[in-house]
């Protein structure tokens, strides 16, 4: 009897232990590096070809091939407008030997495996440049990876955008607190600020099923009176996009991770209980 209770207790303990220690699983990462840092390798100019920031000739367009986890519609970056407005450069970096410089209304985009449930965690480091006209940077997650029209790559359609934030020219981070109608008019000032030439960590915790998300800067979460909503009424996320203007901004150490839905965790844990019960019945019949 003690052995039977011990098996059931062990299974129950394992179930609570699993639920209590669930961690995000990395889907994809990039550091825009060549020989040092995230996804760097020994092959020169791979996965990114770097250049000095003054030269700016090494576009991220078509680069990033081979970095694990990216994929879907295209496994590499595509850049709208002049491809040389989103480049991998080595002068200003957060980690490794490279970072992306986004400017002049370019819109680099990249797709990842479609996420239609659970929670998605996005972490990235951004650094706003100093310019005569203050720089701005916009970021969104969407389900519109095929934004090409002829030879022009268009920004994602608002109706297919989920979470969206931007670093505005007044040095404030702002979000679009969407209501699912595709409107970009629901702008909210978070009160969180950016400083020129300083790296800031941007964290997003996104609940895909409820179409809501949280936003943090340097570990400080924006306190919203209600869950922040998606711009469009979409049921999955499969792509991301940056839009930079004027002097632009640098992006580095971009990471996407997934947290399974609680239901799937419970099912896995219940399997342990079932296994223990099966063993108990087997010993009882023996």
Task: Verify that 5 and 90 share a domain, yes or no.
Answer: no
Q: Tell me what the pLDDT averaged over the chain comes to.
A: 83
Threshold 0.85, pTM exceeds: no
Helix (H, G, I), strand (E, B) or coil at 145: coil
- pLDDT (tens digit per residue) in 100-146: 999 887 789 999 999 999 999 999 999 998 765 667 899 999 998 76
Helix (H, G, I), strand (E, B) or coil at 283: helix
| Half-sphere exposure in the Cβ direction for 148 (13 Å, CA) | 10
Task: Verify that 9 and 29 share a domain, yes or no.
Answer: no
Task: Verify that 11 and 111 share a domain, yes or no.
Answer: no
Supply the DSSP symbol for 85.
Answer: G
CB of 260 closer than 8 Å to CB of 213? no
- Residue 212: give the domain boundaries: 23-259
Does residue 31 surpass a pLDDT of 50? yes
pLDDT at 74 (0 to 100): 77
pLDDT band at 56 (very low <50, low <70, confident <90, very high): low
pLDDT band at 152 (very low <50, low <70, confident <90, very high): low
pLDDT at 261 (0 to 100): 75
Q: How many residues are given for the chain?
A: 286
Phi, psi (deg, nearest 5) at residue 142:
-145, -175
Rounded alpha-carbon distances, angstroms, from residue 241 to 56, 135, 237: 20, 17, 12
Task: Verify that 31 and 3 share a domain, yes or no.
Answer: no
Least confident among 81-85, 186-190, 253-257? 81-85
What is the C-alpha to C-alpha distance for residues 229 and 279, in angstroms, rounded to an integer?
47
Element (H, E) at 273: helix 262-285
Task: Verify that 137 and 114 share a domain, yes or no.
Answer: yes
Six-digit token string for 16: 């609570």
Give the total number of structural domains in the chain: 2
Residue 8 or residue 159, greater confidence: 159
Residue 248 or residue 88, greater confidence: 88
Task: Verify that 279 and 164 share a domain, yes or no.
Answer: no
pLDDT at 278 (0 to 100): 43
- pLDDT (tens digit per residue) in 64-93: 999 999 987 778 999 887 788 899 999 999
Task: Verify that 34 and 95 share a domain, yes or no.
Answer: yes
Going by C-beta distance under 8 Å and a sequence separation of 6 or more, which residues neighbour residue 175?
163, 164, 165, 166, 187, 188, 190, 215, 222, 228
What is the C-alpha to C-alpha distance for residues 63 and 236, in angstroms, rounded to an integer?
25
Supply the DSSP symbol for 122.
Answer: E
Q: What is the mean pLDDT of residues 257-279?
A: 55
């Amino acid at each position: 009897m003690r052995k039977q209770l011990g098996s059931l207790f062990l299974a129950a303990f394992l179930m609570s232990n699993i639920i209590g220690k669930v961690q995000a699983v990395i889907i994809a990462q990039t550091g825009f590096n060549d020989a040092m840092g995230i996804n760097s390798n020994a092959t020169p100019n791979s996965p990114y070809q770097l250049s000095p920031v003054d030269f700016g000739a090494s576009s991220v367009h078509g680069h990033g091939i081979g970095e694990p986890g990216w994929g879907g519609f295209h496994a590499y970056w595509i850049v709208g407008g002049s491809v040389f407005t989103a480049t991998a450069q080595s002068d200003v970096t957060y980690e490794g030997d490279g970072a992306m410089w986004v400017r002049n209304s370019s819109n680099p985009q990249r797709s990842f495996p479609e996420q239609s449930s659970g929670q998605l965690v996005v972490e990235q480091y951004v650094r706003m440049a100093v310019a005569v006209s203050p720089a701005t940077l916009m970021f969104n997650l969407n389900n519109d990876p095929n934004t090409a029209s002829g030879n022009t790559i268009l920004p994602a359609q608002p109706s297919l955008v989920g979470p969206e934030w931007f670093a505005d020219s007044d040095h404030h981070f702002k979000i679009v607190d969407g209501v699912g109608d595709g409107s970009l008019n629901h702008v909210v000032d978070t009160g969180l600020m950016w400083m020129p030439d300083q790296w800031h960590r941007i964290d997003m915790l996104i609940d895909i099923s409820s179409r809501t998300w949280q936003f943090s800067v340097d570990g400080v979460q924006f306190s919203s009176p209600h869950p922040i909503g998606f711009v469009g009424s979409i049921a999955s996320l499969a792509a991301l996009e940056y839009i930079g203007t004027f002097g632009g901004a640098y992006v580095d150490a971009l990471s996407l991770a997934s947290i399974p839905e609680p239901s799937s965790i419970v099912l896995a844990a219940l399997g342990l209980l079932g296994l223990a019960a099966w063993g108990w019945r087997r010993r009882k019949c023996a």
